Structure 1
Amino acid sequence: MSEECLIAKIVYLSNKGSEVTQQTLAEELKMSQQTISRKLRELEERSLIKRSLSKEGEVIRVTENGEKLLEECLSVLKTAIMTSHLLIIRGRVISGLGEGRLFLTMPYYVESFKKFLGFEPYPGTLNLAIYDRESLENRLALDTSKSINIPEYREQNRVLGGVRAFPASINGLRPAAVVFPLRSVHPKSIIEVISPYHLRKELNLNDGDEVTVEAYA
């Protein structure tokens, strides 16, 4: 989860009138208290939140710097959505070869997606086979559409290929993104979707199930 998403959740809970504690955040976000504690410590070090003690435990509040960061993030997202057009792609869930899991455990890609898409992806892609003409035409339209570009990265013994990404939703679930690794061997009729969620589990999907992806291009 990105810093902006965590700050947004703190603001949301605060606006509901409840005191925001580490335990509340862990329960709301279905994350371990150890993970929440580490992320809160990082936010506090960046002066994006303040933590204080009360009879309810440790109370968390967003600082002025945190609110400013969130406003900047929302402004960027609003601009991106207003200047984008929506392409709808329908597909059936298929099993992949496991390459997505390897790809999404590499630190370079994980950090790049956090930076450019605003979320840390679940280590694995959801593969979809396009089954109708209109969806295939929309998929092909992405080839000439403006994308978020993850540049190629050269390590000592290998080159990590670039990736084109499009913010998206899948069956209404956000955040997500359609990704096209530039070295992919997939045909045009196959797309890969990433998300901070385990999509098969979150959406109760099995091979053959039909889903709808809305991609912003």
Structure 2
Amino acid sequence: MNSKEIEAACILAKIISFSKDKGCITQLELSKLLEISQQSVSRKLNELEEIGLITKSETKNGTTVRLTNKGEELLLNCMEMIKESIETRRELKFKGKVVSGLGEGKIFLSIKYYEEQISQKMGFLPYPGTLNLTLYDRTSIENRIMLDSIPGILIPEHKFEDRVLGAVKMFPATVNGISPAAIVIPLRTVHPKSVIEVISPYFIRDKLMLKDGDEVEVIVMT
């Protein structure tokens, strides 16, 4: 479904919502309810009529609008897509123990390119350091492997004259219920699948009063 079809489906949904008692709605009523000019409504309705999604007819009360079978079908398809999207969202849980890293996360997050990309795409400025967790159960490791096949939010590779900054995938997450946060996976990571790195605007160790060996649950919605 393209952007024009999505826009059309939104207008059709409003027509149905506003006209559920009478089965139709006038162009003037629609203009008032949508809070846009009659000219704008007329233009949109003409477009919908041309592609067979609505019919218009003149009455003593003005121009009335009804959905066609094709319009109802488009709206139902749109609703089905939304329903499917919601139902197929998966919750991936990761249980791990806090471990000390080698300081690589601090170096990674001190690079301006990554800092700006994370701020732009995740909506927060990351604390300069990652929370490293060692996964200790089979389900968590299987879920980590599954992340490799999910697109996530990508920070693309960036080339300078003298170096290349590798691409990184991010997955919005919660850490013991704390958000915002994200699992970060460099596409050329040296970490085994049993280790994950988490970023956040908070110093998570301090905020959750964590020390090495403490158990943490990270949840990602995909």
Normalised by the length of structure 1, the TM-score is 0.61
Deviation of the 1:183 alpha carbon: 2.1
Does 2:161 correspond to 1:127? no
Match of 1:86 among 85, 91, 95: 91
What's the C-alpha RMSD, in Å, of the aligned pairs? 1.5
**Which residue matches 1:95?**
100
Moved over 6 A (4+): 80-83
Match of 2:217 among 193, 212, 215: 212
Question: Residue 189 of structure 2 aligns to a residue in which SS?
Answer: coil
**Which residue matches 2:198?**
193
Which amino acid counterpart does residue 132 of structure 2 have in structure 1? Answer: N
Normalised by the length of structure 2, the TM-score is 0.60
Match of 2:207 among 196, 202, 213: 202
Gap runs ≥5 in structure 2 = 1-84
Match of 1:152 among 157, 162, 165: 157
Deviation of the 1:202 alpha carbon: 0.6
In the superposition, relative to structure 1, how do residues 81 and 120 fare at CA in structure 2: closer, same or farther (>3 Å)?
Answer: farther
Instruction: Name which one, 1 or 2, has greater alpha-carbon Rg.
Output: 2
Task: Check conservation: 2:157, 2:166, Cα contact below 8 A.
Answer: yes
Output one character per residue of 1:167-186: Cα deviation in whole Å (capped at 9) or x when no partner: 00000000000000112110
Match of 1:140 among 135, 142, 145: 145
**Which residue matches 1:169?**
174
Question: Residue 104 of structure 1 aligns to a residue in which SS?
Answer: helix
In the superposition, relative to structure 1, how do residues 83 and 107 fare at CA in structure 2: closer, same or farther (>3 Å)?
Answer: farther
Which amino acid counterpart does residue 159 of structure 2 have in structure 1? Answer: R
Deviation of the 1:164 alpha carbon: 0.5
Deviation of the 1:81 alpha carbon: 8.0
Gap runs ≥5 in structure 1 = 1-79
State percent identity of aligned pairs. 56
